[in-house]
């Protein structure tokens, strides 16, 4: 029996770090008929790995900024975690107040 539908992939989240290279690997395991994928219920040996496939064309580097506005728009539309790219979602960056600005503001208060 070959299946990919038993596991609920909607709950799986993989967190990536920006500017790191990732290499997806496809692993194929043989499991006993009574077991469910990734959770062996039998007390026998763990599932046997039949194949481990690395496809060089799938390597990628995770990024957080895009030069292409079309790609940025696609990320906004399809990635619910892309909060920083949405309107009003930019982080508020405060610049440190300079010494001269502090002195001037104190002089204005007196």
Confidence of residue 58 (pLDDT cuts 50, 70, 90): very high
pLDDT above 60 (res 97): no
Q: How far is CA 35 from the centre of its chain?
A: 29
Average pLDDT over residues 102-110: 56
Determine the 3-state secondary structure of 30 from DSSP.
strand
User: For 2, what's the count of Cα atoms within 13 Å in the CB-facing half-sphere?
Assistant: 2
Q: Per-domain residue ranges for the chain? A: 9-64
pLDDT above 70 (res 88): no
Helix %, strand %, coil % for the chain, to 5?
Answer: 25, 15, 55
pLDDT above 90 (res 50): yes
Percent of the chain with pLDDT over 70: 51
């Amino acid at each position: 029996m070959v299946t990919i539908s038993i596991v609920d992939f909607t709950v799986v989240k993989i967190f990536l770090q920006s500017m790191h290279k990732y290499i997806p690997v496809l692993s194929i395991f043989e499991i006993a008929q009574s077991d469910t994928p990734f959770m062996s219920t039998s007390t026998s040996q763990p599932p046997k790995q039949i194949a481990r496939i690395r496809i060089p064309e799938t390597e990628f580097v995770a990024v957080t900024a895009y030069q292409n506005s079309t790609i940025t728009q696609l990320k906004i539309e399809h990635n619910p975690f892309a909060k920083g790219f949405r309107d009003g979602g930019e982080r508020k960056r405060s610049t440190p107040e300079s010494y001269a600005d502090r002195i001037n503001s104190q002089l204005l208060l007196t």
